[in-house]
Amino acid sequence: MEEKEIETVVKRGYLNKVKNQLYGLLCEREKDGEWEKFIDTLYIELLGFPEESKSIYYYKLCYKVSSLKYLRYDYFRKTIFESMNLIDNIGD
């Protein structure tokens, strides 16, 4: 595999990990776990995203994740799924 291909595979794997974290966050909220700490951890991780990979979709994802603490459950759930869809656009 060429270096560019490896980068693409690694980036796709990382974005899938973030998508799984978002789904895990939803599950954590549904079982009334420590979902607020989970949001903070996810947001901190997103802030470390490589500068050259940041796009409008990345910023929309960050804004959505940062607002999750303040949303009622129905909006929280909707925002989680919207965020998961944004991740697919970040990888393109």
Are the CB atoms for 76 and 29 separated by under 8 Å? Answer: yes
Q: What is the pLDDT of residue 91?
A: 64
**Domain extents in the chain:** 3-90
CA angle 3, 9, 14 (to 5 degrees): 125
Low-confidence ranges of the chain (pLDDT < 50): none
Q: What is the pLDDT of residue 10?
A: 87
Return the biggest CA–CA distance within the chain.
46
Cα separation, 18 vs 41, whole angstroms: 11
pTM of the model: 0.88
Q: Which residues of 80-90 are buried (b: 16+ CB within 10 A; e: fewer)?
A: beebbebbeeb
Residue type for 79, please? T
